[in-house]
Structure 1
């Protein structure tokens, strides 16, 4: 089984600001109502419960950055994708709550 790594939200924002990550590489696994509340423009929404049905749309040729609200669902998705043979997976620690805080937005 492939392993995945933890990534601090500051590093994700730095990679995005530097143009080192393409939008399809950041996968937000929250539900659509959570996405509507707050999300990164440079991410794509694939709710956790739809991941198994979405594997054909998730490329494994570049690193993937998985984010949820607080970092719990994203761990589960990283584990699942690793079991499916995906490599270069990164769980964004603290999730969108941590990212929002860094951007001056009160998430919770």
Structure 2
């Protein structure tokens, strides 16, 4: 049984709007150049390849929402974090491309 689940982009935006998650809980695992192109306010950039060395920055007692460009890297990070003992993990399905689409921004 996995300790992570998919969350729709609409759900993440609603959670953010209600203030139910802060920047330490919404982790963008894309590369810096992707972040610079388009990102959400009140999120934290931790590129996927730096996650293992930055676990101390991830709260283990709160839900985490992991986002990337399309949902593939974020799923891999959820699997990795699950293996490190994290729970309450959420993979944002469709990633920033889906979020951008909801906001009428042409992501790619």
Give the TM bin, normalised by the shorter chain: over 0.9
Match of 1:99 in 2: 99
CA RMSD in angstroms comes to: 1.0
Q: Which consecutive unaligned segments of at least 5 residues does structure 1 have?
A: none
Per the alignment, residue 27 of structure 1 pairs with: 27
Which secondary structure state, in structure 2, belongs to the residue aligned with residue 30 of structure 1? coil
Equivalent residues of 1:7, 1:90 under 8 A apart? yes
| Distance apart, 1:2 and its partner CA | 5.1
1:64-98 CA distances to partner (integer Å, 9 max, x unpaired)?
00000000000000000000000100000000000
State yes or no: 1:3 paired with 2:9. no
Q: Distance in 2 between matches of 1:49 and 1:4?
A: 20
TM-score in terms of structure 2 length: 0.97
* 8 A contact 1:2–1:85 mirrored in 2: no
Q: When the two structures are superposed, what TM-score results if normalisation uses the length of structure 1? A: 0.97
Stretches of 4+ aligned residues off by more than 6 angstroms? none
In 2, the alpha carbon distance for the partners of 1:69 and 1:55 equals 21
Give the conservation status (yes or no) of the 8 Å contact 1:28–1:44.
Answer: yes
Matched residue, 2:50? 50
Query: Is contact 1:8–1:92 with CA below 8 Å preserved after alignment?
Result: yes
